[in-house]
Amino acid sequence: MTIKARIGGAMLAAIMSATALQGAFAAEDTIKIGVLHSLSGTMAISETTLKDVMLMLVAEQNKKGGVLGKKLEAVVVDPASNWPLFAEKARELISKDKVAAVFGCWTSSSRKSVLPVFEELNSLLFYPVQYEGEESSRNIIYTGAAPNQQAIPAVDYLMNSEGVQRWVLEGTDYVYPQTTNKILKAYLMSKGVKEADIMINYTPFGFSDWQTEVSKIKSFGSAGKKTAVVSTINGDANVPFYKELGNQGIKAQDIPVVAFSVGEEELAGIDTKPLVGHLAAWNYFQSVDAPVNAEFIKTWHAFTKNDKRVTNDPMEAAYIGFNAWVKAVEAAGTTDTDKVIDSIVGVSVPNLSGGYSTVMPNHHITKPVLIGEIQANGQFDIVQQTPQVVGDEWSDYLPDSKDLISDWRKPMSCGNFNVKTGKCGGKGS
Amino acid sequence: MKMSAILLKGRRMYLRPVRILAILLGLILGFATAASSAADDPAALIKALGTANFEQAEAIIADLGKTGDTRIVPALEAFAAGDLYVRKSDSQVFIAKAAGSGFTLIDPVTGASAGEAPKSAITKIKINNSLRRAISSAQGGLTLLSPDKVVRLQAADSVLKSPSAENLELLEAALAKETDRAVKLRMEQARAVSLLSSDRPVDQKRAAIATLQSLGGRDAIGILMTAAPTLDPALKGDLDAAIKKIEGTLALWDAAQNIWYGLSLGSVLLLAAIGLSITFGVMGIINMAHGEMVMLGAYSTFVVQEIIRTKFPGAFDYSLAIALPVAFVVTGAAGLIIERGVIRFLYGRPLETLLATWGVSLVLQQLVRSIFGPTNREVGNPSWMSGSFPLGGMQVTWNRMWIVLFSLTIFLGLLLLMKRSFFGLMMRAVTQNRRMASSMGIRTPWVDAFTFALGSGIAGIAGVALSQIDNVSPNLGQSYIIDSFMVVVFGGVGNLWGTLVGALTLGVLNKFLEPWVGAVLGKILVLVLIILFIQKRPRGLFALKGRAIEA
Amino acid sequence: MITSFFLRALEGRIVAMVAVLLGFAVLVPMSNLLLGPDNPLHVPTYVMSLLGKYLCYALLALALDLVWGYCGILSLGHGAFFSLGGYAMGMYLMRQIGSRGVYGDPILPDFMVFLNWKQLPWFWYGFDMFWFAALMVLVVPGLLAFVFGWFAFRSRVNGVYLSIITQAMTYALLLAFFRNDMGFGGNNGLTDYKDILGFSVQSDGTRSVLFALSAIMLALCLILASAIVRSKFGKVLLGVRDAESRVRFLGFRVENIKLFTFVVSAMMAGIAGALFVPQVGIINPGEFAPANSIEVVIWTAVGGRSTLIGPIIGAVLVNGGKTIFTGVFPEFWLFALGGLFVLVTLFLPKGIVGTVAQALAKRRAAQAAETPTHLNGKPQAAE
């Protein structure tokens, strides 16, 4: 052993201890992000999965070295499906835990409940669920579908390739179905469908006795015109609805049902054999044939240690949102909310259907619309895929919102710019 | 673009004779290379499926139907089931069945085995609803002459649902040879449907309308209304009269159907409430964990089915019969533990049982969520609980019918137990006069414990039945608890008959209000009516008679 | 006379609680506004809103204790009165948004615009004025309680039957308010408030004032409730609770006594709801859920029924626990909460305050064993 070698060894040791020290510092100095999904109460059924996805994404990102050289740390809280508690927890995450961004919410009510909090405390929320549109906040990035990214392409598909002329718009009585159905009705009538050929019907949350409703659909469908059901029925009520459909013998060939809230996770609770051929419109299905999707599913199965866990559309939206945030933070070089909001517009990240999703100036993203048919194994077979569609926050089919646009880039930086009056602030008066 | 427009037009004029022309045009323009040379060769047509898009495939299916070659029926069936694949290397089409890691290939026309292929070497030919319709129409035409009676009946059914002029001739040929009466009747009806959209003379059409009138039901109205726009004006009178006649009968059956829906909803309410009528009605415990007992019963069913699925797949149809005792024991034991651990310290303080059992219900919900996860679990319907059967002009679904029978059986069983057994006698003695019963030598604490266990066990077997129609999730119990209390209070606390009448009344009332004011308002009205009813009879429908001034 | 009515209210424990509440009303906002964020005594705004929320819940629990603890009416529908008060305030706050909503409609709230409503429904008139809304906060819950109680008490519905139909009432209201056609914003409810009386609801100053108001209002209601139960009327009330028929045979109009108490309690619940909404920032039909009303009963039981201060302590403790547990053990907090309810009913049947008071009374009784003070044979603290 020569002196040289000894010196080399000492230097190596010094470098190693230096990096170790740095590592120790990094572990202390983490970036916190909030995860605001209900883990108990009625919405736990849908939201718990998204919490798991977020934990997985954080773990994966940390394996790659974190963000800005710091590790990420997820702060999970349980707002317990209670909307005022969502506001309280959001405030806690931002004020007490000082999180850099929050990923969360499922229902529109919860989003509406936390929106003032995010605007007041100037933080950032990534909202991963399809919703009714009619909103654009500077502090929210909407990675789920707006009505034009889900409902309208689905109706187009039924009209063009199944020749549907008569429509049942069946929904749970809350804001998302009400708005979506208003938009769809206006859209269908603009396509020449008569009012008598549209039936709109609402049922309460958690509705479980579908006998009368299904037989109503059956008799509406026997007027000699091809009929379809557009379902905006919410989570829990779907299982009894589909069971009743199956038992009353309504086959997809006779009256197809296209759903906007039924994905792989919801189907996991049903025997899908009688439902083969009924449709769903989403921006992602687990059956998408793309390498990035296969990789995602593999990671998911490994993370949950359960190779039967399905993936679904809100999970993809969470994935896109998280990656967009990471990219925007890296571009801005900081997690400061204002800088991230400036840098996130235009950020383009891979989505799971093999393309790229871009955050638009209206804080919605571009994504393709997929129409899938339910298969006997609980998966969807994709029968149509559109090119990228830009999320339209202000529907063109509602009289009060058709003149509005949103653009959060400077200098406009406005969520409800009226193109007619040329002013920011809605209808203006 | 132009081509697809023509094809589209062809499909829209589904029922007109011009259709053939349109399809021929489509054939020539769309895939001249693949099919024009061999429009009659089934093998070539099937091969063309491998590269066709949905609209082209639809035309190919129609051509396959016209070949009249019954050898292709298995291929069509496989296509409908999503088992038709195309081999990537030579774009040959095969029926493929999953075998191990790969697939075994079967020649679609000859049915001969064609070796095996790994999953990556073949692609599934996609199918959508329009194609499924086309397939069942073609299949119907091809199997009308099948030697098997059941197959012929199915064929007639599918032709009935997809009328076309080509099928008409096939039908008439089949009719001439048909001997079975049931099949013949159905074929006549199918013929009438196809005839209405053909260019046959008016007289024949008039007869067809009469046949359809005898078919009756919503489907007949649908068929008649579809045919209406293209029909001879002379027939308009017949058509309207027929529709009116059918609607008249339907109106009666609708009322019957509504009562049935009401009874079936009532029996669900009865199931949910009957265990409560023991724990709450007889023992006076405000058991907020009752719903969770129902949930535990449903999860027991899930576990039983899961074991059967993995270990004894053949016994699936008996899964519910096995789940019933399991659920009873599991929830009964849970009830026993709750009674011994919590409730026995709270007798005589009914409102505090509310608090404690509410706490228990939170713990049980979270426990189930931690063990089984928050998402819905799949509980399958055994074959005898799937589908429906016609009863006159109404459709009765099997699962609903079994649930009605099941709830009545439980009710009668419980009644017998209470009124005729020694345990029932002890139970009644203890609830009526605890001290007296105790001094007669009845061990009241154990009677209490087993009464509560019985109530919980019954909630558990209710859970088995409810798992057939509702979500199996940790929230299952919550959605029934309020309704259960309403039923028991409406019927009269402490009276099993009251619970029965209460449940069925509320069910029927709900179902009569629902078509009239909608599901949401209907439910609100029922609640308001219950509130008003309680003002009128403060102790429910069947009040226990007594002399106590303050019961 | 009125002075003596209220002076009688000021018994030791009540005075102490009022003093604590008033102290909070002054100190917490001062610490929030005057001390810097680095000061260890500084109360951050989110903690203050949280405490404000607890105080509103405490007021609701106090209202329930008045009817349950002193009149024997176990209402499982008090959440309905709370929510109605909240909605009255929420409607005022919605009207204050004016043209600052996303559509900029000067009159219609946003949710009406996108559901294509052309004009304001009649029941929204008047809510642009604070005094009218404030009046409605009392009138709407009071009126509902009056109508409901009028029928229920007259036909002598009591005990469990009464509890269940109060639950039916709040459940029916839940379903009704979920309906978008009702004109109350459906399941999203009313949210995104801007101003109250011209002050921004988001500023620390307004929040401080709201917090102080909640504390003061709770103190005032506590004094009122204490005055009621300690008056002659209060003695009759206890009689109704313990032996309704005897009181009736003595010639009292039991139904009127119950009705009065029920209406007063409903109005208190309405005030609690009205103070809750601007601090939390949203009111939606979820508040009508029967489970929420049951929780109120639990706070009251945990703190100690028939003690007036017990419900306040119970509400603050249970909600405080909920806040901590949902953050610390998000997956398991229901075990803790559920377990707490079971343990409290089993081991502290009189609630925290009741048990402590009983222990104190026992010690006092032991000290003065020769001179029995309780003529009715019951320890005083059990009231």
- The model's confidence at residue B201, banded by pLDDT at 50, 70 and 90, is confident
> A163, B395: Cβ pair inside 8 Å?
no
At B159 the pLDDT is: 78
pLDDT of residue A428: 56
CA distance to partner chain C, nearest, from residue A82 (Å): 7
Task: Tell me what pLDDT residue A28 has.
Answer: 57
Of A1-15, B114-128, B492-506, the range with the highest mean pLDDT is B492-506
CB pairs under 8 A between B and C: 120
Nearest CB to C333 within list A78, A178, A204:
A78
The pLDDT > 70 percentage for chain B reads: 91
Residue A77 inside a domain? The answer is yes
Inform me whether the pLDDT recorded for B12 exceeds 50: no
- Closest Cα in chain C, distance from residue B475 (Å): 13
Same domain, A383 and A413: no
CB of A418 within 8 Å of any CB in chain C? yes
Task: Please tell me the predicted confidence (pLDDT) of residue A348.
Answer: 95
Peptide bond into A411 cis (omega under 30): yes
User: Which of A109, A408, A423 is the best mutation test for C, with the most CBs of C within 10 A?
Assistant: A109
Spell out the per-residue pLDDT of chain A, length 429, in tens.
444 444 444 444 444 444 444 444 444 589 999 999 999 888 888 899 999 999 999 999 999 999 999 999 999 999 988 888 999 999 999 998 999 999 999 988 899 999 999 999 999 999 999 998 889 999 999 999 999 999 999 999 999 988 899 999 999 888 889 889 999 999 999 999 999 999 999 888 888 889 889 989 988 988 878 899 999 998 778 888 988 888 888 888 889 999 998 889 888 877 888 888 999 999 999 999 899 999 999 999 999 998 888 999 999 999 999 999 999 999 999 999 999 999 999 999 999 999 999 999 999 999 999 999 999 888 999 999 999 999 999 988 888 888 899 999 988 888 889 888 888 887 654
Given an 8 Å threshold on Cβ–Cβ distance, is C298 in contact with B534? no
Using DSSP bridges, classify how beta strands A257-259 and C282-283 pair: parallel, antiparallel or unpaired. Answer: unpaired
Non-local CB neighbours of A126 within 8 Å, separated by 6+ positions: A101, A102, A103, A104, A140, A141, A143, A318, A321, A322, A324, A325
Between these two residues, C157 and C312, which has the higher pLDDT value?
C312
Q: Tokens 């029932």 belong to which residue?
A: B424
Q: Chain A 195-254, CB below 8 Å of chain C: which residues? A: 204-205
> Given B82, B374, B520, which is nearest A203 (Cβ)?
B520
Chain A hits for C46, CB-CB cut-off 8 Å, are 88, 91-92, 95-96
* pLDDT number for residue C310: 93
Closest by Cα among B378, B126, B136, B129 to A278: B129
Judged by CB atoms closer than 8 Å, whether chains meet at A426 and C102 is answered as yes
- C103 vs A416: CB contact, 8 Å cut-off? yes
Residue A135 sits in the same domain as residue A175: no
* Domain regions of chain B by residue span: 2-131, 144-231, 279-477
**Between chains, do C180 and A175 touch, taking CB under 8 Å as contact?**
yes
State whether B257 and A215 contact (CB < 8 Å): yes
Count: domains in chain C = 1
Cβ pairs A/B, distance under 8 A: 165
Residue A1 is assigned to a structural domain of this protein: no
> Do A234 and A378 belong together in one domain?
yes
**Looking at the predicted structure, is the pLDDT value of residue B548 above 60?**
no
Report yes or no on A25 lying in a domain.
no
CB contact under 8 A, A426 and C192: no
Shortest distance, CA A354 to any CA of chain B (angstroms):
19
Q: What value does the mean pLDDT take over residues C256-262?
A: 95
Confidence category of residue B547, pLDDT binned at 50, 70, 90: low
CB contact under 8 Å between B535 and C157, yes or no, is yes
ipTM exceeding the 0.90 mark: no
Q: What is the tens place of the pLDDT at every residue in B204-252?
A: 888 888 887 877 777 778 778 777 777 777 777 888 888 888 888 888 8
Q: Domain of A285: which CATH number? A: 3.40.50.2300
**Nearest C-alpha of chain C: how many angstroms from A140?**
14
Q: d(Cα A275, Cα A251) in Å, to the nearest integer?
A: 7
CB A165 within 8 A of CB A197: yes
Confidence band (pLDDT; 50, 70, 90) for B544?
A: low
The whole-number average pLDDT for the span B35-54 is 73
- How far is B484 from chain A, CA to nearest CA, in Å? 15
C168 to B520: CB separation less than 8 angstroms, yes or no:
no
Judged by CB atoms closer than 8 Å, whether chains meet at C178 and A205 is answered as: yes
Place of tokens 């403790």: C317
Q: Which of A198, A90, B368 is nearest to C335 (CA)?
A: B368
pLDDT bin (cut points 50, 70, 90) of residue B545 is: low
C-alpha distance from C180 to closest chain A C-alpha (Å): 7
Among the partner-chain residues A208, A271, A376, the one whose CB lies closest to the CB of B479 is A208
Q: Which residues of B touch C344 (CB under 8 A)?
A: 355
CA distance B531 to chain C (A): 6
In a domain, C284, yes or no: yes
- Are the Cβ atoms of A204 and B469 closer than 8 angstroms? no
pLDDT band (50, 70, 90) for residue B28: very low
Q: Same domain, yes or no, for A91 and A228?
A: no
Closest CA to C303 of C355, C252, C247: C355
Residue C161 lies in domain: 2-293
List A residues 140-199 in contact with C (Cβ-Cβ < 8 A).
173-175, 178-179, 182
Residue A13 belongs to a domain: no
Say if C355 falls within a structural domain.
no
Which of C242, C295, C334 to probe by mutation at the B interface, max B CB count within 10 Å? C334
Report the C-alpha gap between C37 and A96 in whole angstroms. Answer: 12
Which A residues, 77 through 116, put their C-beta within 8 Å of a C-beta on chain C? Answer: 77-80, 82-85, 87-89, 91-92, 95-96, 107-109, 112-113, 115-116
Per residue in B465-488, pLDDT tens?
999 888 898 988 888 898 999 999
| CB pair distance less than 8 Å for B486 and C335 | no
Subunits with at least 3 CB pairs below 8 A relative to chain A?
B, C
Minimal C-alpha gap between B365 and chain C (Å) = 8
Taking the C-alpha atoms of residue B296 and residue B299, their distance in angstroms, rounded to an integer, is 5
Q: Is the pLDDT of residue C297 over 70?
A: yes
User: Predicted confidence band at B39 (pLDDT cuts at 50, 70, 90)?
Assistant: low
Domain count within chain A? 3
pLDDT tens digits for range C301-359: 889 989 999 999 999 999 998 888 888 888 788 898 899 889 888 888 888 888 888 88
Mutation target vs A (from B471, B476, B478, B524; most A CBs, 10 A cutoff): B471
- Closest residue on chain A to B374 (Cα): A45
Alpha carbon distance A144, B500 (integer Å): 47
Looking at residue B550, its pLDDT comes to 46
Reported as a pLDDT band with limits 50, 70 and 90, residue B348 is confident
Residue among C282, C323, C333 whose CB faces A113 most closely: C282
Give the 3-state secondary structure of B360-409: HHHHHHHHHHHHHCCCCCCCCCCHHHCCEEEECCEEEEHHHHHHHHHHHH
**B neighbours by CB contacts (3+ pairs under 8 Å):** A, C
Are B358 and C331 a contacting pair at CB < 8 A?
no
pLDDT beyond 60 at C54: yes
- Give Cα B115 distance to the centre of its chain: 39
Do the Cβ atoms of A381 and B82 come within 8 Å?
yes
Question: Closest partner residue to B366 among C148, C163, C335, by Cβ?
Answer: C335
Domain residues for the domain of A78 are 30-145+293-301+313-367
Q: Contact C153/C258 with Cβ under 8 angstroms? A: yes
Neighbour order of strands in the sheet with B102-106:
B113-117, B102-106, B93-99, B84-87, B122-124
**Chain B partners of C340 at a C-beta cutoff of 8 Å?**
359
**Residues A198, A285: one domain?**
yes
- Spell out the SS3 assignment of B486-545: HHHHHHCCCCHHHHHHHHHHHHHHHHHHHHHHCHHHHHHHHHHHHHHHHHHCCCCCCCCC
What are C267-293's pLDDT values in tens digits? Answer: 999 999 999 999 998 998 989 999 899
pLDDT (tens digit per residue) in B386-409? 888 888 778 888 989 999 999 999
**The two three-digit tokens of residue A369, written as one number:** 């619309």
**Residue of chain C with shortest Cα separation from A179:** C115
**Nearest residue of C to residue B374, measured between CA atoms:** C331
Q: Which chain C residues have a beta carbon less than 8 Å from that of A120?
A: 202
Measured between CA atoms, the residue of chain C closest to residue B361 is C338
Relative to beta strand B394-397, strand B388-391 is antiparallel
- Average pLDDT of chain C, as a whole number: 88
Closest CA to A177 of A210, A111, A132, A214: A132
Q: Hey, of A209, A233, A383, which one would you mutate to test binding to chain B, going by the most B CBs within 10 A of its CB?
A: A209
Q: How many angstroms from the chain centroid is the CA of residue B128? A: 22
Split at pLDDT 50, 70, 90, the class of B538 is: confident
